[in-house]
Amino acid sequence: MLLTSLLGLIIGSILGLTGAGGGILAVPALVVGLGFSMSEATPVALVAVGLASMLGAIEGLRRKTVRYKAALLMSAVGALTAPLGIWAAGRIPNVWLLTMFSGVMVIVGARMALQAYRTDAHTDDTLPDGKVCIQSTETGRFVWSSATALTLGAIGAVSGLFTGMLGVGGGFIIVPALRHFSNVAMNGVVATSLMVIALISTATVAGAFAGGLTLSTTSWLFIGTTVTGMLLGRLVAPRIPARALQWGFAMICVVVAMIVLAKARGVL
């Protein structure tokens, strides 16, 4: 029970701090740490991450850090491209999918680390220079234009495609993309990513329970502690410099890449 609680707290905290990593880290944690089979771990991870993301998104809405219109747009477009990803996944060998994803994660982590290295700790990287999606300093909302809509739609499309192909959440696409294309602070990027994950997960979770999904006591303990970890992560996140969160995200990307590569090699 202690190990279950500890793993749930860690996964939830990572999700709350970075807006990503929960789903793809939860499955290996359940399989390797708690001895679940892949078929048992997947729905538990989905419920845990979906519920935790939902609460994180609600907290972000309360604090007005979520760009909810952007989240709705990305979710809607992602829902359209996810079936294409599923179709592609059925035609590409799994080992190549996982290896490709590992490579993407290393690149994303390296870019985020480079961005964190270049970020001045006092500016929080919020200046709009070179950004396509501009957050107004007066209203705190995006200044919408055709370029803004197309960029956010493209982020949602790529996120949905990878979600369909690899069966993981879209946070690893959304977080670095929003950091690159927008001037939204890291805390707002994380909150927006959580809302997208929550929206995409809700329908899947509902369908799973409608199909007769039942969970064990250990599963519910993991879910509960994941939610608790999420709340703790969101509570602490505003007090952590954006650059530190970016470094953390970059390191998690590398860890995830190693986990996925190990899975591709049959180690996990």
Within a 10 A sphere around the Cβ of 123, how many other Cβ atoms? 10
Decide if 45 contacts 23 (C-beta within 8 A): yes
CA distance 194 to 248: 17
Report d(CA 74, CA 199) in Å as an integer: 10
pLDDT for 60: 87
pLDDT digits 0-9 by tens, 64-111:
889 999 999 999 998 888 888 878 877 888 778 778 778 877 887 887
Q: Is the dihedral of CA 37, 226, 101, 103 positive or negative?
A: negative
Name which residue leads in pLDDT, 239 or 167: 239
Q: Considering the chain, what is the average pLDDT of its residues?
A: 82
pLDDT digits (tens, 9 = 90+) for 199-211: 877 766 776 677 7
Q: Show me where the domains of the chain are located.
A: 2-264
pLDDT of residue 119: 62
Kindly tell me if the per-residue pLDDT of 129 is higher than 70.
no
Quickly state the pLDDT bin for 138 (edges 50, 70, 90).
confident
N-terminal to C-terminal alpha carbon distance within the chain: 22
Q: Which two tokens stand for residue 263?
A: 């899975």
Asked if residue 6 has pLDDT above 90, the reply is yes
Q: pLDDT confidence of 121, banded at 50, 70, 90?
A: very low
pLDDT at 125 over 50: no
d(CA 133, CA 137): 13
